[in-house]
Structure 1
Amino acid sequence: MSMTDRQIGEIPSSERTAWIWWNTNGFIRLASGIGGLVALALLWWLLTDVLVPQHSFAHRFSPSLAVPAFADLITGADLWHHILLSLQRVLIGLGFALLIGVPVGLFVGASPMAEAATTPAFQFLRMISPLSWMPIAVMAFGVGNAPIYFLLAFAAVWPILLNTAAGVRQLNPHWLLLSKSLAATRWETLARVILPGVLSHVLTGLRLAIGITWIVLVPCEMLGVQAGLGYFILDTRDRLAYNELMATVLVIGIIGFALDSVARLVLRRLSSV
Structure 2
Amino acid sequence: MTAQIRQKSIVNSLILLVRKIPISLWGIIISAFIWWIFTSALWHSSQILNQFSPEETLSSLTKLIISGNIFPHIIDSLRRVFVGLILATIIGIPLGILIGVSKLLDQATSVLFQFLRMISPLSWMPIAVMIFGIGDFPVYFLLTVAAIWPLMLNASAGVASIDKRWLLLSRSLCANRWETLTKIIFPAILSHLFTGLRLAIGIIWIVLVPAEMLGVRAGLGYYILDTRDRLAYSELLAVILIIGAIGYILDLGFRYADQYWRHEK
Q: Same fold (TM over 0.5)?
A: yes
Q: Tell me by how many angstroms 1:182 deviates.
A: 1.1
Match of residue 178 from structure 1:
169
Q: Give me the TM-score of the superposition, normalised by structure 2.
A: 0.90
Q: Tell me by how many angstroms 1:249 deviates.
A: 0.6
Match of residue 195 from structure 2:
204
Counterpart of 2:48 (choices 54, 57, 63) is: 57
- Specify whether residues 29 and 203 from structure 1 end up closer, same or farther in structure 2 by C-alpha distance, changes over 3 A only: farther
Query: Contact between 1:52 and 1:59, CA under 8 Å: does it hold in 2?
Result: no
Q: Tell me by how many angstroms 1:198 deviates.
A: 0.8
Q: Tell me by how many angstroms 1:40 deviates.
A: 1.5
Deviation by residue 1:32-84 (Cα, 9 ceiling, x = unmatched): 11111112111211111167513243222111100011011112222000001
Q: Following superposition of structure 1 onto structure 2, how do residues 75-86 of structure 1 map, counting pairs within 5 Å?
A: 75-86=66-77
Q: Following superposition of structure 1 onto structure 2, how do residues 32-181 of structure 1 map, counting pairs within 5 Å?
A: 32-49=23-40, 52-181=43-172
Identity %: 52
Counterpart of 2:223 (choices 207, 229, 232) is: 232
The gaps in structure 2 that reach 5 residues or longer are 1-18
Query: 4+ residue stretches of structure 1 with deviation over 4 A?
Result: none
CA RMSD of aligned residues (A): 1.5
Structure 1 SS opposite 2:70: helix
Aligned-partner Cα distance in 1 for 2:101–2:42: 58
Deviation by residue 1:100-131 (Cα, 9 ceiling, x = unmatched): 00110001011112111111111111111111
The gaps in structure 1 that reach 5 residues or longer are 1-27
Q: How many residues are aligned here? A: 246
Aligned-partner Cα distance in 2 for 1:242–1:172: 55
- Specify whether residues 186 and 245 from structure 1 end up closer, same or farther in structure 2 by C-alpha distance, changes over 3 A only: same
